[in-house]
Amino acid sequence: MQKALPKRYELLVISISSPLLLGVYEEGRLIETISSELKTSEILLPLIKESLDKYDISRIIYTRGPGSYMAIKLTYIMLKTIEILQGIKCAGCSGFALNGGEPIKAVGNLYFIKEKETIITKKFEQAINVKFTLPQSIQDLELDEESTPEYILPAV
């Protein structure tokens, strides 16, 4: 009798804007969405722990930037700690891959925009309301070779 292969679960974390979004993926397909309006520092670790308790997570992908500097830093530290302690791989992707390439809030009325392969900041007089979404499948999600944060700090 052939033994069934274990299911492969992955977690995708979008912490660079509000609401914080986590997606649980089974074999690359979205099976659960978790959302919170609380601050990343307050809720991310409990949500990740809950997901790790419920699923056998093999990899966690996060938006490594650009976006909220503090959220990126906190997320990376949490995920790197989990990688070291539990052996769960940490990978990064661009925030632009999860918002349709739209501008991402930096500070004040400055936004990060991607022009070809370069990320710059641009001032917008009117606030831009951009939504991040969890894709239905992460099989085609472009992962960065680096998992470290992509800190792009605008000139103030």
In the chain, the domains with their CATH numbers are 9-97 (3.30.420.40)
Model confidence at 154, pLDDT cuts 50, 70, 90, reads low
Q: What pTM was estimated for this model as a whole?
A: 0.92
Give the type of residue at 20: L
User: Which residue matches tokens 């809030």?
Assistant: 105
Task: Convert the pLDDT of each residue in 132-147 to its tens digit.
Answer: 999 999 999 999 988 8
Model confidence at 52, pLDDT cuts 50, 70, 90, reads very high
Cα(17)–Cα(132) distance, integer angstroms: 8
The answer to whether 66 touches 116, Cβ cutoff 8 Å, is: no
From the list 106, 109, 107, 104, the residue with the least C-alpha distance to 132 is 104
What's the pLDDT at 155? 52
Cα(107)–Cα(68) distance, integer angstroms: 9
Phi, psi of 105 (to 5 degrees): -55, 130
Q: What is the mean pLDDT of residues 52-71?
A: 95
Task: Considering only residues 146 and 66, tell me which one the structure prediction assigns the higher pLDDT.
Answer: 66
**Is the alpha carbon torsion for 41, 14, 23, 92 positive or negative?**
negative
How confident is the prediction for the chain on average, in pLDDT?
A: 92
